[in-house]
Structure 1
């Protein structure tokens, strides 16, 4: 009787370890690499890694990924045997997994496996995955305090946006799970919001405009950051940087250049050194957003049902 696909793939990876082709500390194929190489669904690929982890053949190293068990090349000890179970320890392990492999690899069973405890034991400390995610968000927002408040609203909003961008870059899974219309009420996230709102307090803006400025700025940074994880995975899976990938598209672009239908965009892509890395997009858009907010502050709309009363400007 043929083995299920996930067991056969696990056998293939074990063979690579046994032969020495993969040594302790070496990265094993990621879930996405498994789907590409063996032609299976992401759920099957995740099951392969879970089986190998359960057997102790591989382990997760934060910031690195899933590696062959044994002496890690980065010298980071496993958290499996450290201390008693607690919510803080569960959240820390959840962050390690999400940071290393993405949120799709995170489950209560996976956390329990890494901590060496029964899955049901986790529910004494977190009610479920949604509750766990809220604690993860709160922990991440509280990792680094908001910066010392600079002088002037523009520098303050600029500092807040950069603080948020840095947070999303440290935790690439975070941006897609943040809701704009149903915000997660994590205490540290609320403190972040309060810091931003104080930046535009006393400028003659109504409460609605103040909230909209915060949400607009946060949603802009979040929108750019939703590409961070996919970008990192694409570079990892292909081995190509953005520049190298674009160079590989030149033949296609040259063919498209013959069509007047795409003449403007193709001309720009061929004749300019177009820099579309995420940091450059963040910088360009942030400056334009702050320019627009400056116009609003210079001439705020009158509140509904009355004339505008402006307080002293802090520009």
Structure 2
């Protein structure tokens, strides 16, 4: 692990960082992360800077560096603060209900903090709360005939589906919906050229106006897992 990664681990997993010099600490990692989240929620991740966070807290930029080495570490703290905890396990013996609640809860997190989509890509060090999300999926599928790597892959598949829908929702805007935007954008063209795109025209005519992409895709993923579990164990 690189020195930078080690520093990130210490920041996210170690005891609270305390300045090694200067007056009695007046800041905390929690306050710094909350200020970063406030800026990102209002203006996007690109607007976050050490200078801006320091100004919001009424401190100098240099004082912030006594707690957080740089922007990468700041964003990691923000992710940990914003992602929160996964839903409580209220369906201990129903893996499908657990994963459905998990997916909807993650969708809501992306909805509250759309910048998380940009901040949670690529190889990086995860904090305790974020790693708990992965733990919940792997635990829900434990004892159902799936290997460890398969349970990990299921978590990646679920998260990827949620991210895809969340990205489409962000592009549609706070009051828009991905499916409605798609219909608005291409619906007229498809119906004007229905002879060329008969299947699309028929499908759009049958559209009932509800956004079902999240649940439709989620159900199909869970159906696939259920089929695999049945083949392995004889139970769903």
TM bracket, shorter-chain basis: 0.7 to 0.9
In terms of fraction of residues, the more helix-rich structure is: 2
| Separation in 2, partners of 1:182, 1:205 | 25
Q: CA 1:184–1:219 in 2, change beyond 3 Å: closer, same or farther?
A: farther
**Whole-Å Cα distance in 2 between the matches of residues 137 and 148 of structure 1?**
22
1:192 aligns with 2:124: no
Shift of 1:114: 1.9
Distance 1:206 1:244 in 2: 39
Aligned to 2:87: 146
- Compute the displacement of 1:245 (Å): 6.2
1:292 matched to 2:224: yes
| Contact preservation (8 Å) 2:89, 2:98 | no
Conservation of the 8 A alpha-carbon contact between 1:90 and 1:111: yes
Matched position secondary structure for 2:126:
coil
Query: More relative contact order in 1 or in 2 (CA 8 Å, sep 6+)?
Result: 2
In 1, the alpha carbon distance for the partners of 2:110 and 2:157 equals 16
Deviations 1:12-37 (A, max 9, x none): xxxxxxxxxxxxxxxxxxxxxxxxxx
1:231 and 1:184, CA in 2 relative to 1: closer, same or farther beyond 3 A?
Answer: farther
Q: Specify the alignment match of 1:229 in structure 2.
A: 170
CA distances 1:237-266 after superposition (whole Å, capped 9, x unpaired): xxx77798678658x715862363333324
The structure-2 alpha-carbon separation of the partners of 1:260 and 1:223, relative to structure 1 and needing over 3 Å to count, comes to same
- For residues 159 and 113 of structure 2, what CA distance do their matches in structure 1 show? 16
Q: How many Å separate the matches in 1 of 2:184 and 2:146?
A: 49
TM-score under structure 2 length normalisation: 0.76
3-state SS of 2:144 partner = coil
Q: Which residue of 2 aligns with 1:9?
A: none
Asked whether the equivalents of residues 154 and 290 of structure 1 are also in contact (C-alpha less than 8 Å), the reply is: yes
**How does 1:128-277 map onto structure 2 within 5 Å?**
128-142=70-84, 144=85, 146-150=87-91, 151-179=93-121, 182-232=123-173, 253=188, 257-258=192-193, 260-269=195-204, 271-275=205-209, 277=211
Residues of 2 paired with 1:148 and 1:248: CA distance?
39
- What is the alpha-carbon distance in structure 2 between the residues aligned to residue 241 and residue 298 of structure 1? 36
Any conservation in 2 of the 1:141–1:167 contact (CA below 8 Å)?
yes
- Say if 2:32 is the partner of 1:90: yes
- Going from structure 1 to structure 2, the CA distance change for 1:183 and 1:193 (only over 3 Å counts) comes to farther
Larger Rg: 1
Against the structure 1 CA distance between its residues 215 and 247, is the aligned structure 2 distance closer, same or farther, given a 3 Å change threshold? closer
Q: What SS class does the counterpart of residue 190 from structure 1 fall into?
A: helix
How many angstroms does 1:295 deviate by? Answer: 0.8
User: 1:172, 1:228 within 8 Å by CA — same for their partners in 2?
Assistant: no
Contact 2:190 2:201 in 1 (8 A): no
Note the C-alpha offset of 1:170.
1.5
Aligned residue in 1 for 2:214: 282
Which blocks of at least 5 consecutive residues in structure 1 are unaligned?
A: 1-82, 301-309
Distance 1:110 1:93 in 2: 9
CA contact (8 A) 1:173 1:229 kept: no
Counterparts of 1:215 and 1:255 in 2: how far apart (Å)?
Answer: 34
Aligned length: 211
Q: CA deviation at 1:294?
A: 0.3
